Amino acid sequence: MEAILSRNFNISNAWKLSVAEERGAYQTAKKVLTSSKPEEVLAAVMASNLRGLGGAGFPTGKKWSFLPKNNPKPVYLVINADEGEPGTCKDRYILERDPHQMIEGIIISAFAINSHKAYVYIRGEYVRPYENLQAAVDEAYTKGYLGKNALGSGYAIDLVVHRGAGAYICGEETALLNSLEGGRGLPRLKPPFPAIVGLFGCPTIINNVETVACVPHIMKNGAEWFAALGIPGCGGTHLFSISGHVEKPGVYELPMGVSLKDIIYKNAGGILGGRQLKAVIPGGISAKILTAAEVDVKMDYDSLKNAGTMLGSAGIMVMDETTCMVKMLYYATKFFAHESCGQCSPCREGTGWAHKIVTRIYSGHGKIEDLDELLRIARNMERRTICVFADAAAWPILSYIGKFRTEFEQFITQGKAALLEPAGAH
């Protein structure tokens, strides 16, 4: 398959404007702004079957269409670059290695939704990506690609890069908006949805980095071409981050609907050291775990939903036979307990309570009844809070214990020493 989003990842200094221009950057944006109408861009994005690549998978064109017509308020475009999901680094590659691809996508997307102000909310820990992105934005302004007369079209587009402060919850779009406004990063009740009442109370479209990076390619090569790269209802390619016990971890661009088994054994070279596969998390730490017997599944939103998990951030985490599932759950519950914003009591109390119980089990003082208690806590966290953070925190508990309960019981009854990892394990 020809690389599309990743075509410049291995090109030296592709984040610099001179190199990006040699590779065709901004040519499509200039053509769109000078010879197309916003409604034509919207129609192309809808026909391309581009879905949000940040996790939710909502059709991008449909989201854009929710903006109110004849609205007197300004329209804002916000790019969610707060990539904080453990096991995920795909957006980082775009931000650090090819930011002009995303900037061009922002220009076209802003034009399509009649927005003159765009923001990129970038994860605070992403130092190099931020530096490269800000340098790329500065160069785009200097060259006249951004500003009051973007690309000589007469259309004004301003772009601001805003750094987060390290809160995972700000990856949730409404918490991101509150943080961008200068408030605490707390999720908002919906409705109203951001397309109606978003940043500063104005209509706002929030898209992921990878999503807007697809837009120039759609406008250059056509909606039918993009749709044909994927599967029905889900066009294009996807950047998959794969880590853990594989021979070749990294970021791979592959068509939507590719087999998870193929990603592991063909693209990533199989299990490290020739050991046996035990389990896989297919979409970042929030996704429910799959056993080795369940990896022959297509990596798209609907197929993974039918398999009882989700594509999420496409952060694939592979675990071999040496992996202790109690240890995995310990770190998962520790993460969610630390990152809960505390706004909703089921999440605030549930994440901390669950982590305390798992900590007790992991330290060798657990009881068998702790497992049912953890499941009860998790079920009482699901669908009871403003955002889906509590659900995401509950799913590892439900799936790890649900699929590896015997291992948890053995850990509790035989003690931690019974499951020590063998020599050479990672």
Judged against a pLDDT cut of 60, whether residue 417 lies above it is answered with no
Same domain flag for 80 and 217: yes
Indicate the pLDDT class of residue 416, thresholds 50, 70 and 90. low
Domain boundary among 320, 348, 369: 320
Return the CATH number at 403.
1.20.1440.230
Same domain flag for 86 and 137: yes
Same domain flag for 293 and 333: no
Indicate the pLDDT class of residue 425, thresholds 50, 70 and 90. very low
Same domain flag for 81 and 225: yes
Is the CA virtual torsion 146, 42, 95, 341 positive or negative? positive
The reply to whether 140 falls in a domain is yes
Same domain flag for 187 and 254: no
Same domain flag for 350 and 374: yes
Same domain flag for 130 and 165: yes
Average pLDDT over all residues of the chain: 95
Instruction: Give the residue ranges of DSSP H helices in 113-172.
Output: 127-142
Return the residue matching tokens 């109606």: 196
CA distance 228 to 236: 7
β pairing state of 117-122 and 158-163: parallel
pLDDT at 424: 42
The reply to whether 304 falls in a domain is yes
pLDDT at 414: 87
Domain boundary among 178, 204, 229: 229
**Residue ranges making up the domain that contains 376:** 325-419
195-213: average pLDDT: 97
Q: In sequence order, what are the residues at sequence separation of 6 or more whose Cβ sits closer than 8 angstroms to the Cβ of residue 323?
A: 245, 278, 279, 421
CA proximity to 34, closest of 113, 102, 107, 140: 107
- Into how many domains does the chain fold? 3
Same domain flag for 331 and 407: yes
Same domain flag for 166 and 36: yes
Indicate the pLDDT class of residue 420, thresholds 50, 70 and 90. very low
CA distance 202 to 385: 25
Which regions of 24-126 does DSSP assign to beta strands (E)? 76-81, 117-122
Output phi, psi for 146, to 5 deg: -120, 160
The reply to whether 8 falls in a domain is no
Indicate the pLDDT class of residue 2, thresholds 50, 70 and 90. confident
Q: Is 426 exposed, middle or buried (0-12, 13-18, 19+ CB in 10 A)?
A: exposed
Per-residue pLDDT of 223-266, as tens digits, reads 999 999 999 999 999 999 999 999 999 999 999 999 999 999 99
Comparing 368 with 414, the larger pLDDT belongs to 368
195-222: average pLDDT: 98
Judged against a pLDDT cut of 80, whether residue 150 lies above it is answered with yes
Other CB atoms within a 10 A radius of the CB of residue 403 amount to 18
404, 410 contact by CB (below 8 A): no
Comparing 423 with 23, the larger pLDDT belongs to 23
Return the CATH number at 259.
3.10.20.600
CA proximity to 131, closest of 97, 168, 172, 179: 97
Per-residue pLDDT of 99-134, as tens digits, reads 999 999 999 999 999 999 999 999 999 999 999 999
Per-residue pLDDT of 376-400, as tens digits, reads 999 999 999 999 999 999 999 999 9
The reply to whether 1 falls in a domain is no
DSSP per-residue letters across 157-188: BEEEEEE--S-GGGGSHHHHHHHHTTS---PP
Domain boundary among 196, 229, 262: 229
CA distance 346 to 342: 9
Return the CATH number at 84.
3.40.50.11540
CA proximity to 257, closest of 240, 245, 269, 277: 240
